[in-house]
Amino acid sequence: MSQPFLTANPTPDRMRALVEYLSTYRDGSGNIREDDPERSTRADSRQIERCFAELFGVKPPESKSYYDFAVEINQGGGVVISAASVKSKEAANLRDFRDRSKRRRLRAYLEIANASAKDWTLCRDSGLREEDFRAHRHADRFGAAILQRQADERAAAEAKIQKQRRHAAPRRVDAQASVFLSVMYSPMDKQFQREYLVSSYPIVLPLPEHREFRGKALVGLDEHDEVLYEWYALSGSQFKYYPLIDERKYASQLFQLLKPALESLHQKAARMFGHT
């Protein structure tokens, strides 16, 4: 059976389910307040992860693991696992997706990590120091270290998944079938609606063609000589990834969420438990 965004584009039924899950958080239960007349809400990053976990019928760990959820598929007497890391971000230019000429240049925005202590531990183990970064020395060595750190973090998460349920069938995480899930959404329009776009990208990060320092960031450039990675080593160690929208594996088209009736806590409690 194909899995939406992991092994195939979503079917209309699965896409409808995802839209409905995301839309439930517009009723006042979302953790982010919108600036519209109704003062509605929307899902934050953790709630978006829950929507995808629900789509796959799994329970998210809701931890700081590299992966936000994993899907098991029985195969050859064992269990093959496809795992996903969900990244969400507002994108001011998302509506450019409708213009074919602009779409070719449109990139997703994924903040992969911001673990300063772990990053710098690996850098120091490789003989790299903060003064080297400030002086813009050793761009390739720093770039290799930060990509290795992501690979190490991913491998540790995969090993943890494989050790779960010891007495069950053998479990193997398939990195080639695992993905980053990018959830991009536009600013609100005049009708107080946002556009959403979901795209999946391989979990194994590609090597850049070239690395160089630009201001406070170490930048990795792709074959188009455009920014693929940014690492702000001295500013929270934010590591950002900008794959082209056209290079996604599986994806949705642009979609909008539904508008449920807003419900106060009193109304929700009364509905769930009777008169309060």
**Over 60: is that where the pLDDT of 266 sits?**
yes
Contacts of 37 (CB under 8 A, 6+ apart): 192
**Among 74-78, 120-124, 221-225, the least confident range:** 74-78
Q: Does residue 232 sit in helix, strand or coil?
A: strand
Q: What is the pLDDT of residue 240?
A: 96
Q: Structural domain boundaries of the chain?
A: 12-273
36 or 77, greater pLDDT:
36
**Over 80: is that where the pLDDT of 102 sits?**
yes
Confidence of residue 77 (pLDDT cuts 50, 70, 90): low
Q: Does residue 231 sit in helix, strand or coil?
A: strand
Contacts of 207 (CB under 8 A, 6+ apart): 147
Secondary structure (DSSP) of 161-221 = HHHSSTTSS-EEE-GGG-EEEEEEEPPP-TTS---EEEEEEESSPPPPSEEEEETTEEEEE
User: What confidence tens digit (pLDDT) does each residue in 198-211 have?
Assistant: 999 999 999 999 99
The tokens for 135 are: 């002086």
Q: What is the pLDDT of residue 55?
A: 95
Assess contact for 54 and 189: CB atoms under 8 A: no
**What whole-number distance in Å separates Cα of residue 133 and Cα of residue 265?**
50
Its pTM stands at 0.91
State how far the alpha carbon of 146 is from the alpha carbons of 17, 90, 243, in Å: 37, 25, 17
Q: What is the pLDDT of residue 81?
A: 83
Q: What is the pLDDT of residue 74?
A: 63
Q: What is the pLDDT of residue 59?
A: 86
**What whole-number distance in Å separates Cα of residue 179 and Cα of residue 27?**
30
Confidence of residue 216 (pLDDT cuts 50, 70, 90): very high
User: What confidence tens digit (pLDDT) does each residue in 168-191 have?
Assistant: 666 778 888 899 999 999 999 999
**What whole-number distance in Å separates Cα of residue 6 and Cα of residue 20?**
20
Contacts of 137 (CB under 8 A, 6+ apart): none
Average pLDDT over residues 122-151: 95
248 or 59, greater pLDDT:
248
Confidence of residue 166 (pLDDT cuts 50, 70, 90): low
Ramachandran region, residue 206 (left: φ > 0; alpha: ψ -120 to 50; beta: rest)? beta
Share of the chain above pLDDT 70, in %: 94
**Over 70: is that where the pLDDT of 244 sits?**
yes
The structure tokens 């449109």 sit at: 106
Q: What is the pLDDT of residue 80?
A: 77
**Over 90: is that where the pLDDT of 130 sits?**
yes
Closest CA to 23 of 262, 274, 191, 276: 262
Confidence of residue 276 (pLDDT cuts 50, 70, 90): low
